[in-house]
Amino acid sequence: MTLVLGIESSCDETAAALVTGDRVIVSERIASQIAAHQPYGGVVPEIAARAHVDRLAPLIEAVLEEADVTLSDCDAIAATAGPGLIGGVMVGLVSAKALAMASGTPLYAINHLEGHALSPRLADAALEFPYALLLVSGGHCQILRVDGVGQYRRLATTIDDALGEAFDKSAKLLGLGYPGGPALEKLALKGGASAVPLPRPLLGSKEPHFSFAGLKSAVLRATESGAYKNADIAASFQQAAIDCVLDRLQHSFPELGDVSALVVAGGVAANQRIRGALEGFANDRALRFVAPPLALCTDNAAMIAWAGAERLAIGAEPDPLEFAARPRWPLDPNAEPARGAGVKA
């Protein structure tokens, strides 16, 4: 069975994992940088890059040791090569290149979004192409049709904030600090989902895209008004976000064509209310719903190793050691930029 070493360093998690071609996560390590960024209320790129430098090598050593293998036992090294904070991406990619060169192991430069997009197949052997994918993370909010490894058609994206970004910014306004998404979800459990009137940007729009900037501004006004409890604002924000997501999925649905399942991936896929709402949406359409386990939703190296394993399985050529890190790297290079967007790849 093939064995792939995965490396992830595109944001604030430093991670390494060994994954087999038959979906076994042999060993994995994640070093979270939450404590390092917490005083600043968000990720500081320079601090992140330095932390990746300090932490990555020991994590790689640990996963190899735990699995009792060496680099020459690996069939490939897969590293995130973008999109993300460029300093961090370069740390992971350069390390991978050095290891690949020293051990003669093939290198796969992985698009971080492809890692998220294929992660549900690591957890679920029955998930077949094509599937509909809602990719919701801190930097991205997209609806895609996934036809195969490397075959992604983007139907919708955000014209301003990503969904995770909206969670994080709203959480900050509510004094919840960083990282905001999980904290907001927790607070929302104690509030009323219709207690605070909040907008649903682009609801019913003929364009397929998302927008969350107006929702975040409304959270700011609600907070400043002093008229509402924070838990009510959190619950109402989460509900408004869910309504937007379901409406946009509904809009794109006919365009997606025949698909085997509705799949959600990315950090925001860890949100239980969002998972529940999507499951309902899929059930109503007699469609299978697939969501990876929580640890595979937020950034991790197993999904990067798995993307490498998928590339190996289809006989994809390894990438050259000259492969350059990419701060922006759309999954679907042919997708038109969303009109009015402050273009996010």
The contact set with Zn ion (CB under 5 A) reads 137, 299
Question: Could you give the strand order of the β-sheet that contains 25-32, starting from the edge strand earlier in sequence?
Answer: 25-32, 13-20, 3-8, 76-82, 107-111
155, 156, 174, 270: which one contacts ligand KG4 (CB under 6 A)? 270
164, 191, 308, 318: which one contacts ligand KG4 (CB under 6 A)? 164
Q: How many angstroms separate the CA atoms of 295 and 41, rounded?
A: 23
Nearer to ligand KG4, 105 or 137 (CB): 137
- Nearest residue to 339 via CA among 200, 135, 137, 156: 156
- Partner in contact with 292, chosen from Zn ion, ligand KG4, none, beta carbon below 5 to 8 Å by kind: none
Does 180 contact ligand KG4 by CB under 6 A? yes
Q: Identify the residue whose tokens are 């992604």.
A: 152
Crossing angle between the packed helical segments 163-173 and 180-188, to the nearest 10 degrees = 70
Q: How many angstroms separate the CA atoms of 188 and 239, rounded?
A: 9
Nearer to Zn ion, 64 or 96 (CB): 96
8, 185, 310, 319: which one contacts ligand KG4 (CB under 6 A)? 185
Footprint of ligand KG4 on 67-86 (CB under 6 A): none
Q: Are 88 and 49 in contact (CB under 8 A)?
A: yes
Q: How many angstroms separate the CA atoms of 94 and 52, rounded?
A: 12
Question: For the window 5-34, what string marks contact with ligand KG4 as x by the rule CB under 6 A?
Answer: ------x-----------------------
Minimal distance, residue 156 CB to Zn ion, in Å: 18
Does 212 contact ligand KG4 by CB under 6 A? no
Does 137 contact ligand KG4 by CB under 6 A? yes
Binding residues for ligand KG4, how many (CB under 6 A)?
Answer: 20
Element (H, E) at 46: helix 45-67
Q: Which two tokens stand for residue 258?
A: 């025949």
Minimal distance, residue 286 CB to ligand KG4, in Å: 27
Nearer to ligand KG4, 105 or 157 (CB): 157
Minimal distance, residue 3 CB to Zn ion, in Å: 23
Does 271 contact ligand KG4 by CB under 6 A? yes
Got the DSSP string for 241-300? HHHHHHHHHHHHHHHH-S-SEEEEESGGGG-HHHHHHHHHHHHHTT-EEE---HHHHSS-
Nearer to ligand KG4, 100 or 176 (CB): 176
Nearer to Zn ion, 13 or 185 (CB): 13
Q: How many angstroms separate the CA atoms of 222 and 71, rounded?
A: 54
Does 179 contact ligand KG4 by CB under 6 A? yes
Minimal distance, residue 182 CB to ligand KG4, in Å: 4
Q: How many angstroms separate the CA atoms of 19 and 77, rounded?
A: 11
User: Taking the chain, what is the end-to-end CA distance rounded to the nearest angstrom?
Assistant: 35
Contact region with ligand KG4 (CB under 6 A), list: 30-38, 175-183, 195-203, 284-292: 175-183
Length of the chain: 345
168, 232, 310, 319: which one contacts ligand KG4 (CB under 6 A)? 168
Give the interface with ligand KG4 as residue ranges (CB under 6 A): 11, 137-139, 164-165, 167-168, 179-182, 185, 266-268, 270-271, 298-299
